[in-house]
Amino acid sequence: MNRPARLTARSAARLAAVQALYQLEMEKPQLHLLLDEFHMHRLGAEIEDDQYHAADVAFFDDVVRGVAARQDEIDGALTARLVDGWSITRLDRTMLQILRAGAYELMARPDISVGTVIGEYLDVAHAFFDARETKFVNGLLDAVAKDVRK
């Protein structure tokens, strides 16, 4: 299946955003330096003989900056939908960034359909996790969507 270039560029931006958010959480660099690093060295680059798709840079920036700015609100929305006894601190760090990015889009980007947001982050989850974790992403983002897209 051939996907339109815009979707491919947004898909690449979403994957890169999750990677940037992970780096932000683990290393705590200044946000502008992290974005500059991705702009200059990662988005659309060739790394270790792997060619990365050109990403929608403005969309990448929106997701990363948006999650960083609204992290407490996003984490609250995710926490509200976790089963009793679970907290976001128990989640795998990569999984958490996938969920944060997806929740941000659901909360802040009404121009993108719920189905598109969830489907795209399921694709990102497949890059890192098996089917069980991917189902978790699906369920949690669907529950957040019901809360924020009334």
Quick one: pLDDT at residue 54? 80
Whether 12 and 52 have beta carbons less than 8 Å apart is answered as yes
Q: How confident is the model at residue 98, as a pLDDT? A: 98
Residue 45 is predicted with a pLDDT of: 62
Per-residue pLDDT tens digits for 53-79: 688 999 999 999 999 999 999 999 999
Residue ranges of the chain whose pLDDT lies below 70 = 1-7, 45-53
pTM of the model: 0.90
**pLDDT at residue 119, rounded to an integer:** 96
Pairing relation of β-strands 46-47 and 50-51? Answer: antiparallel
52 Cβ contact partners less than 8 Å away, ≥ 6 residues apart = 12, 16, 42, 43, 44, 45, 46
pLDDT of residue 84: 84
| CATH code of the domain occupying 5-148 | 1.10.940.10
Q: Encoding tokens for residue 72?
A: 């407490």
Task: Give me the amino acid identity at 46.
Answer: E
Q: Map out the domains of the chain as residue ranges.
A: 5-148
pLDDT number for residue 50: 54
Q: What is the pLDDT of residue 95?
A: 97
* HSE-CB for 138 with a 13 A CA cutoff: 12
Apex 42 CA angle, 38 and 48, nearest 5: 150
